[in-house]
Structure 1
Amino acid sequence: MSTAAASNAVAAADFSAAERSAVYRAIFERRDMRHFAGGTVAPDIMRRLLTAAHHAPSVGFMQPWRFVRLSDAAVREQVHALVEAERLQTARALGEREEAFMRLKVEGMRDAAEVWAVALADGRDAHVFGRRTLPQMDLASAACAIQNLWLAARAEGLGVGWVSLFDPLALARLLGMPDGAEPIALLCIGPVHAFYEEPMLQQERWAKRCALDDLLFENRWGTALQTPPPADGPEDPAP
């Protein structure tokens, strides 16, 4: 056995087959939820989700994520009004797809047990490591934190919906964010009646998942990846 193969075998042994399957199950069954069942999220579970987020990778270990809980009903309604205003603007911008868009449920802020705003921290320009030519890596790092929270929530049996329909400057002002901070997401979190069988926008025939092989290249853009040997592991489930 080669050194690389031996190393891979040791790494695989760190997780049982059931544990590996659970990780992939969370990935494949995660959904961007819009329909929530009210209820509550226990504080200890919410803490676990935030801890999972905080253990995401970040470029230069900058940890740019900040989380603001919207626990006040009046504040949540004000934020909801910002989302609704942008929903209408987005519908108009879609032109011929305006009516189809307006039929979609695009957020669950009034029904979700928890709503959290996620923002990029102020003072991010001081972090140059890994960002000199790619300053957007602060956003990429925060997205990893959101994904961590999302997968942990799925494992806890909770739904999460990422809402990005808002004016970031207006939301920053409403939530009293300092200059330089930038909101990137509103996360609706909580119990759901059921998880969608497939991504909601695919279910509603708005779009469908691309074929993976169409997105894989080798050495140069557009050159198809040479098919590697089959690997043991879960297959991307249908649909």
Structure 2
Amino acid sequence: MSNHNDPFTAAQREGLYRAIFERRDVRSQFLPEPIPDDVLGRILKAAHHAPSVGFMQPWDFIVIDSLAVRKRVLASFNEENEKAADQYTGRRKDTYRSLKLQGILESPMNLCITCDRTRGGPHVLGRNSIVEMDLFSTCLAVQNLWLAARAEGIGVGWVSILDQQVLSDILQLPEHVYPLAYLCLGYVSEFLGQPELQTRGWRSRLPLEELVHGNGWGGSLEQETLLAQLKQR
């Protein structure tokens, strides 16, 4: 066991950055092989060690392997996906309909990460000014889980095309619990070299150097070395 104050080794840093850069939103590459309990336990533990405002830890994790439950979620997705498709016209609509946007049944398990908006009581340290900090904290748990899953060779896909109230009803959530992230998890045949939406021409990654400002919106960076680093591909 290493000392918590020890610096990361070069190999440890490389592993962390690899997980970050090779993480993908998986939809089409799931394998039926189940996730072993010890691996799932490590991933959930990583999620549970995310930072949270006031240390409120607002998350819960609903493990879903029931085919009946997943079919109900898929029905909600299909209904909402039709509504989303109607927002586009022409070739863009055709491209949208061709995209695979969920792996609810293909993945061996689904996971819903929820946010208990009452946890910690009415006055949570650090949440008085920005009440959404509990939601932001739960997003950090999602990211922790996603990176840990990638390190374990497990793909994750976030299904965002869902009616949250319908999902809450399916999962029998209390009124104060918000279903923040519905995820598909499983081993995959491959991790794509770049995000699928980028490969399909839906969107491209924005240049980082255009998104970093100095001392205020639109301010130029004076650190030439940093600017050069940001421009590296």
Return the TM-score normalized by structure 1. 0.88
The superposition leaves residues 177-227 of structure 1 with CA deviations (integer Å, 9 ceiling, x where unpaired) of 011111121111111000011011111110011111111111111112223
2:124 aligned residue: 128
Query: Is the Cα–Cα contact under 8 Å of residues 209 and 230 in structure 2 kept in the other structure?
Result: no
Q: Distance in 2 between matches of 1:196 and 1:60?
A: 37
1:117 aligned residue: 112
The superposition leaves residues 26-82 of structure 1 with CA deviations (integer Å, 9 ceiling, x where unpaired) of 101001111211211000100000000000001111111111111211111111111
Q: Distance in 1 between matches of 2:232 and 2:175?
A: 44
Question: How far 1:118 sits from its partner (Å)?
Answer: 1.4
Q: Is residue 2:141 matched to residue 1:145?
A: yes
Paired residue total: 226
Q: Secondary structure at the match of 2:184?
A: strand
Q: Is residue 2:64 matched to residue 1:64?
A: no
1:51 aligned residue: 45
Query: Is the Cα–Cα contact under 8 Å of residues 164 and 184 in structure 1 kept in the other structure?
Result: no
Q: Is residue 2:70 matched to residue 1:76?
A: yes
Q: Distance in 2 between matches of 1:237 and 1:95?
A: 36
Runs of 5+ in structure 2 lacking a partner?
A: none
1:42 aligned residue: 36
Q: Distance in 1 between matches of 2:123 and 2:201?
A: 42
Q: Distance in 2 between matches of 1:214 and 1:29?
A: 22
Distance 1:39 1:182, change over 3 A: same
2:9 aligned residue: 16
Q: Distance in 2 between matches of 1:106 and 1:212?
A: 26
The superposition leaves residues 153-187 of structure 1 with CA deviations (integer Å, 9 ceiling, x where unpaired) of 11111111111111111110111101111112111
1:197 aligned residue: 193
2:68 counterpart letter in structure 1: A
1:211 counterpart letter in structure 2: P
1:49 counterpart letter in structure 2: I
Q: Is residue 2:149 matched to residue 1:157?
A: no
Q: Is residue 2:225 matched to residue 1:229?
A: yes
Deviates more, 1:167-176 or 1:221-230: 221-230
Query: Is the Cα–Cα contact under 8 Å of residues 43 and 149 in structure 2 kept in the other structure?
Result: yes
Alignment equivalent of 2:204, drawn from 208, 212, 227: 208
Query: Is the Cα–Cα contact under 8 Å of residues 28 and 236 in structure 1 kept in the other structure?
Result: no
2:177 aligned residue: 181
Q: Distance in 2 between matches of 1:213 and 1:127?
A: 39
1:29 aligned residue: 22
Query: Is the Cα–Cα contact under 8 Å of residues 69 and 115 in structure 1 kept in the other structure?
Result: yes
Q: Distance in 2 between matches of 1:217 and 1:43?
A: 44
* Seq. identity, %: 41
Distance 1:126 1:93, change over 3 A: farther
Q: Secondary structure at the match of 1:93?
A: coil
Q: Distance in 1 between matches of 2:178 and 2:63?
A: 15
Runs of 4+ in 1 over 6 A off after TM superposition: 234-237
Give the aligned CA root-mean-square deviation in angstroms. Answer: 2.2
Return the TM-score normalized by structure 2. 0.90
2:206 counterpart letter in structure 1: C
Q: Distance in 2 between matches of 1:34 and 1:208?
A: 18
Q: Distance in 2 between matches of 1:211 and 1:137?
A: 28
